[in-house]
Amino acid sequence: MFYRTLEEFKNASGYTVGSVWYPRVTAIVGMKAKPGLYKFYAEQESFEAGEAVKAKSAEEGTLTHDTVEAILRGESPVIPETIKPVIEAFFNFLNSNKVEAKLIEERLISNKYRYSGTMDVLAEINGRLGVLDVKTSYSIFRDYGIQTSAYVEALNERKNLPELTRWILRLDQSQKCLKCPAVLRTKGGNIKVRGEKNFCNHEWSEMIGEAELKELPPYQKDFNAFLACKTLWEWENEFWLSRINY
């Protein structure tokens, strides 16, 4: 990444809490390469077109996030037409599990390892307490564990909490072919068909929402990977970090 000024670097990659600047969890996690991204860009008309799809897709993800968090706060937000199926799936998830949000969009700090991040939700699900991270993706990727491990460590530094678990709640919506296993997703205006085995003159269902909860293993291994990302991130940004009292 290129930054013109120290302020730009600090704003883009961290938070200032009190008088201390902390690098942001998502900036650190971003150091890990994502080979899937190359494939995504290769399928786009141009780099700029890919950037536009990514930006729009992020906007859609934020809309789902904000709506879900409002519901968890006990509010009754207006549900935009475009995300009705996925929110319906989220309501089904709430109805079939005992879910209580303890903290939502909470800023967390690790003073021990010096970083900061904003956790989606600290939740109690069916009697157990853990970090709940909401993803709007077609699958649950192992990488997600790196981000949530950083939140668990920061929460552990607060000391007054029992042992925490971690979950990914994947919320998505797609259309299924009525004649074969293919699935069609529309993300950021980009249409993608997955799971096609044979030629099929697809016949698509209505948009169907999905809510998949997955518990992640104990966080230590993922946290080691997070610290490795952080070491690499510090190396990459040495120029700027040497200009602050880091």
Contact residues for Zn ion, defined by CB under 5 A: 177, 179-180, 182, 200, 202
| Shortest distance, position 179 Cβ to Zn ion, whole Å | 5
Residue with tokens 């909490």: 161
* DSSP state letter for 217: P
Least distance in angstroms from the C-beta of 137 to Zn ion: 22
Query: Minimum distance between the CB of residue 190 and Zn ion, rounded to whole angstroms?
Result: 19
Least distance to Zn ion from the beta carbon of 184, Å? 9
Nearer to Zn ion, 36 or 181 (CB): 181
Q: Which is nearer to Zn ion, 132 or 177 (CB)?
A: 177
Dihedral angle over CA of 25, 31, 32, 36, nearest 10 = 110
The secondary structure of 41-82 as a DSSP string is: HHTSSSHHHHHHHHHHHHHHHHHHHHHHHHHHTT------GG
> Which phi and psi (to 5°) does residue 115 adopt?
-160, 165
Closer residue to Zn ion, CB minimum distance, 208 or 225: 208
Q: Which conformational region is residue 180 in: left (phi greater than 0), alpha (psi within -120 to 50 degrees), or beta?
A: beta
| Nearer to Zn ion (CB atom), residue 99 or residue 200 | 200
Looking at beta carbons only, is 54 or 185 nearer to Zn ion?
Answer: 185
Q: Is 95 helix (H, G, I), strand (E, B) or coil?
A: helix
Our CB check for Zn ion shows the closer of 63 and 180 to be 180
Shortest Å distance, C-beta 186 to Zn ion: 16
End-to-end, the C-alpha distance of the chain in Å comes to: 19
* Nearest distance, CB of residue 138 and Zn ion, angstroms: 17
Listed residue (221, 207, 147) closest to 174, CA to CA: 207
- The helix-helix angle for 220-236 and 144-156 (nearest 10°) equals 100
